Amino acid sequence: ATDAELEQAIEEALEAGYRHIDTAHVYENEKVIGKVLNRWLTSGKLNRKDLFLVTKLPPNGLTPQGVPKYLKRSLEYLQVDYVDVYLVHTPFGFKDIDGNLHPHTPEGLIDFDPTTDHVAVWKAMEAQVDAGLAKAIGISNFNIKQISRILENARIPPVNLQIELHAYHQQKELVDFCKKHNIAITAYSPLGSPGLGKFMARFGH
């Protein structure tokens, strides 16, 4: 969507009563969302407590220092003081090269960061709750083994897991595990994702 199309869509959604907005740094739409939200909040049409905002730490930020850097950037773009939930978008990290959300190696492959440490990242996520910048924290695209490691070391456990979930990809074991540990599930692509192959082909997958 163009910025203008997105801006109009958010306006229509808010007018219709939508109050839960799920975004992410890698969606590159936080600035447009923030522009509309600021208009509604400053005009008094909405109070911040009326909204439920979710955004996500990009793969480039999967380091202890990357967590506050990217959350503060998202808050600046969204023009709010806090998000209701901040999610770790992926269990894998990319090299952090400013201005390049999908860094590539000279061979044309995604430039992964092999030093990613989920426990260290999670401690930095907890610090964002302590600072009042996120009301709650969670994860996205993590598996049972990765979630278990976080739970074993967490002071503030994840409240939410966002995963692809639909009739053709039900992930029952993972859903049951999360229910057992009081982790709410949010499904993305609930009707499937037929365009994903074309999207991933852009990045050499």
pLDDT band with cut points at 50, 70 and 90 for residue 5: very high
Tell me the per-residue pLDDT of 128-175, one tens digit each, with 9 for 90 and over. Answer: 999 999 999 999 999 999 999 999 999 999 999 999 999 999 999 999
pLDDT given for residue 99 in this prediction: 84
User: Which of 27, 77, 168, 188 is labelled catalytic?
Assistant: 27
The pLDDT of 177-201, averaged and rounded, is 87
pLDDT band with cut points at 50, 70 and 90 for residue 183: very high
Q: Report the C-alpha dihedral over residues 94, 96, 102, 105, rounded to 10 degrees.
A: -80
pLDDT given for residue 203 in this prediction: 62
Q: Which two tokens stand for residue 148?
A: 């278990």
Tell me the per-residue pLDDT of 22-66, one tens digit each, with 9 for 90 and over. Answer: 999 999 999 999 999 999 999 999 999 999 999 999 999 999 999
pLDDT given for residue 201 in this prediction: 75
Q: Rounded distance, CA 39 to CA 193, Å?
A: 33
- Contacts for 70-79 with beta carbons within 8 Å, 24 or more apart? 70/25, 71/128, 71/133, 71/134, 72/133, 73/25, 74/25, 74/30, 75/133, 77/30, 77/31, 77/33, 77/34, 78/23, 78/30, 78/33, 78/34, 78/37, 78/53, 79/34, 79/35, 79/37, 79/38, 79/41
Residue 204 has pLDDT above 90, yes or no: no
pLDDT given for residue 132 in this prediction: 98
The pLDDT of 7-20, averaged and rounded, is 98
pLDDT given for residue 51 in this prediction: 98
Residue 198 has pLDDT above 70, yes or no: yes
pTM assigned to the model: 0.93
The pLDDT of 118-135, averaged and rounded, is 98
Task: Give the CA radius of gyration of the chain.
Answer: 17
The answer to whether residue 18 is catalytic is: no
Please report how the helices 3-16 and 30-43 are oriented relative to each other, as an axis angle in degrees rounded to 10. 40
pLDDT given for residue 153 in this prediction: 98
Give the number of other CB atoms < 10 A from CB of residue 199: 10
